[in-house]
A and B are shown apart, each in its own frame.
Chain A
Amino acid sequence: MSITSLLGKSCRPGRFEQKEVEPELILKLLETAVWAPNDGLREPWRFLFVEGEKGREAMPLHREAPAHLVVIADAVDDMHKQEEDLAAVFCLIQNMRLLGLEQNIGMLICMDDWIHDSSLRQRLGIRDHERIAAILDIGYAEIGDTTKEIHTSRLRISEC
């Protein structure tokens, strides 16, 4: 599907089908998504796949979904590099969302404060100099056309 038509699509939040999401498929999408721009080719990411059944155990506070992907970013001491790395990981996440839509898979992004809790970090094995960038809730979903609201007037653009 073309990128333009994909950008016009979205999944209805919170309405995943009760259908298993194969980890192999998510890994396959990730193999494409890692072609995200990243400064100095640091590839500052790694991934934890959590099956829906294990979701409660892994993240007791979190809503249920057929699968979760914990996207982990490097968090080096140099704050400037840390920000650049985070940007790269967010670009990768956007790639994943687009690739998912093409497979009728919706991905909801969770960036709530609790993703940084030390107990969660420990349970998931997040290392020093790493941070959770986001947790993606993944599931097959009804993918529809975004109501073509006029976002355009909302963009704030000025000439330098």
Chain B
Amino acid sequence: MSVESIIKERRSIRKFADQAVPDHLMQELFNRAAVSCDPQMLQSMRLIIALQNESKNRLSHYMLDSFTATRMGKLIPRSVKETMAKFFSEVPGLLVIVVDDHDSQQQKDMHYANACFFLQNLQLLAWEKGIGMFWRSDEMLYTKPFFEQLGISDRERLVGILLFGFIEKTPRPRKRTPASKKWLHWPQI
């Protein structure tokens, strides 16, 4: 598959097949996604993976506690929150991405950028293997209890949580604005 078609065909996946994703496959994808990354920058990133049932249960309960801690979360009935936690615990895999966040503003921006470069590589490589991903960055995950439970320090920044698994259903593409509509020459002629 050409890189062009992978970029265009990749979708965020919400429906995963009921099939385990082997740990060695994920490790291989991580390593391949990292090849083009700045080795020093990789040092500023860490990944927390949940593939085992026990880990997934733990992480989804952390997420549930996080939702509960937010103002909006307090308004959501318990049963709905439990359904959400169940959903997260039943996803084939979850990946938490954290970067250092304690240097100069420029360094912080670059750490964040490099984590995004890595994650985009990862999403493209996974797609080629039939693995879909869904990058969550819900505001309800950015709470003190969640960071504490996961051991994310105040010198770190949560980039997001990727849900992943073999693709059950690929959503249809939604129309995008052509780049030509968002493009200018400088100086304007």
Contact = CB atoms under 8 A, between A and B. Distances in A.
Given A58-B186, A70-B186, A157-B47, A87 B4 contact: no
B182 A99 contact: no
Interface in B1-20: 1-4, 6-8, 10, 12
Contacts of A134: 113
Contacts, number: 198
A20 to B, nearest CB: 14
Given A50-B185, A58-B186, A154-B43, 8 more contacts: A3-B125, A7-B35, A30-B183, A37-B10, A97-B36, A151-B31, A158-B49, A159-B52
Interface string B133-164: 00101010010000000100000000110000
A46 B135 CA distance: 22
Given A70-B186, A87-B159, A157 B30 contact: yes
Interface string B34-71: 11110100110111111110011011000000000000
B187 interface: yes
Contact of B6 (A3, A84, A113, A151): A3
A4 B182 CA distance: 30
Interface in A3-44: 3-4, 6-10, 23, 27, 30-37, 39, 41, 43
B120 A94 contact: yes
A37 B173 CA distance: 12
Contacts of B79: none
Nearest to B174: A41
A109 interface: yes
19 contacts: A3-B121, A27-B183, A31-B179, A43-B177, A46-B184, A48-B184, A50-B185, A80-B137, A86-B112, A94-B117, A95-B120, A99-B3, A151-B31, A151-B34, A151-B42, A156-B43, A157-B27, A159-B50, A160-B150
A54 interface: yes
A127 B182 CA distance: 14
Nearest to B52: A159
B176 to A, nearest CB: 6
Nearest to B127: A3
Contact of B184 (A4, A47, A80): A47
A149 interface: yes
Given A47-B182, A91-B116, A111-B110, A99 B7 contact: yes
Nearest to B6: A3
Given A49-B183, A84-B137, A111-B109, A90 B116 contact: yes
Contact of B45 (A35, A112, A156): A156
Contact of B8 (A6, A32, A94): A32
A146 B184 contact: no
Contacts of A133: 113
